[in-house]
Amino acid sequence: MASEATAKRITEKAEPASGVQEAEAPLFAPHRDLNKRGLLLIGGLILLANIPLIHYFFRHVLTPMPVAAGVSLPFTDDFNRADVGERYWSTGGDWRIESGELHSASVRNNPLWLKASLPNDVAVDFDVRPASPEGDVRFVLFGDGLNQNSGYTFLFGSYGMTAIQRIADDPHQHVLTFDGRGVGLPGPANEPEQSAIAGRGMAELYKNGTLGPSTEWRMERRDLRAQPGTSYHMHVERRGGDIKWYANNQLVFEVNDPSPLTGKGHDRFAPSGMDTDAFFDNLAIQKL
């Protein structure tokens, strides 16, 4: 009898109270199953994976882009010296001075940023000579002083295309494409956003709200190509939201951006390049 009573008490103790379901233990509970060393290892891996974001936050959000003493507008540079100097900076790329010209030697979209803050209304002039068969010339206006795709990117004769592109740093956002007159180009069936703007002008699309302050767009033309070894004089100006770009006094693009890129993060200029060579000279920047 004593053994039966003991067994009953053990059974009653093991069974949960009536109507109460005992929670099933999780298969894996990190705080229970991992020791301190394991938790530190996981934390270190998470930190390592986010280093690019942390670097961007400190360099771009907390730290202002560098401004060099003595670099103010109007600004001119004929590059008649031995090296690039302290008035410019870049995150990479082989930028050098050769025979009085600034040489972008396959810099792979690492712009050479001028350490000067630009006003909203400005004119930029310079000479450029593409040296590669692709005839590729690139420069950035109203960027953030760090990233290639942070402002208006200008592509002259780049692999057969001349274009101006308004910010394109979000790989998940579709860049709406327009022709040289600002009319939407046709899009394939798998790009409904592009198909929706086909044949419609940018002014109309801004007015009805299809385009807005965060829209990424590109105007392009394929009838204007840069010839290797030929020197071109570039002139770009912006007044308010009106942007005009000339090459050898020929109007390349004229566009009105009702939400122009301005202020911190959109106040720098830089020549740039990809896998090709180009020579820049006679840079002049002035407030309008």
| Residues 157 and 256 occupy one common structural domain | yes
**DSSP readout, 22-83?**
PPPPPS--HHHHS-HHHHHHHHHHHHHHTHHHHHHIIIIIISPPP--TT--SSEEE---SSS
| Residues 52 and 163 occupy one common structural domain | no
Confidence at residue 209, expressed as pLDDT on a 0 to 100 scale? 95
Alpha carbons 18 and 7: distance in angstroms, whole number: 19
- Supply 28's token pair: 């894996």
| Residues 161 and 221 occupy one common structural domain | yes
Tokens 């057969």 locate to 160
Asked if 129 and 232 touch (Cβ cutoff 8 Å), the reply is yes
Per-residue pLDDT of the chain (288 residues; tens, 9 = 90+): 555 555 555 455 555 555 555 556 555 555 556 666 766 777 777 877 766 556 545 554 455 666 665 688 999 999 999 999 999 999 899 999 999 999 999 899 999 999 999 999 999 999 999 999 888 999 999 999 999 899 999 999 988 899 999 997 766 678 999 999 999 999 988 899 999 999 999 999 999 999 999 999 999 999 998 999 999 999 999 999 999 999 999 999 999 999 999 998 999 999 999 999 999 999 999 999
Confidence at residue 129, expressed as pLDDT on a 0 to 100 scale? 97
Alpha carbons 110 and 271: distance in angstroms, whole number: 9
Asked if 206 and 199 touch (Cβ cutoff 8 Å), the reply is no
Kindly report the backbone phi and psi dihedral angles of residue 144, in degrees, each rounded to the nearest multiple of 5, phi listed first: -95, 0
Alpha carbons 53 and 83: distance in angstroms, whole number: 32
- Supply 137's token pair: 């010339």
CA 84 vs CA 95, 137, 285: distances in Å: 7, 19, 17
Alpha carbons 241 and 254: distance in angstroms, whole number: 11
Confidence at residue 46, expressed as pLDDT on a 0 to 100 scale? 81
Confidence at residue 110, expressed as pLDDT on a 0 to 100 scale? 95
| Residues 158 and 30 occupy one common structural domain | no
Confidence at residue 39, expressed as pLDDT on a 0 to 100 scale? 66
| Residues 48 and 145 occupy one common structural domain | no
Confidence at residue 162, expressed as pLDDT on a 0 to 100 scale? 97
| Residues 35 and 166 occupy one common structural domain | no
| Residues 41 and 82 occupy one common structural domain | no
Confidence at residue 40, expressed as pLDDT on a 0 to 100 scale? 73
| Residues 164 and 87 occupy one common structural domain | yes
Domain end call among 63, 90, 117? 63
Asked if 152 and 111 touch (Cβ cutoff 8 Å), the reply is no
Confidence at residue 236, expressed as pLDDT on a 0 to 100 scale? 98
Q: What's the domain range around 50?
A: 24-63
The amino acid occupying position 195 is S
Confidence at residue 116, expressed as pLDDT on a 0 to 100 scale? 94
Question: Is 135 within a domain?
Answer: yes
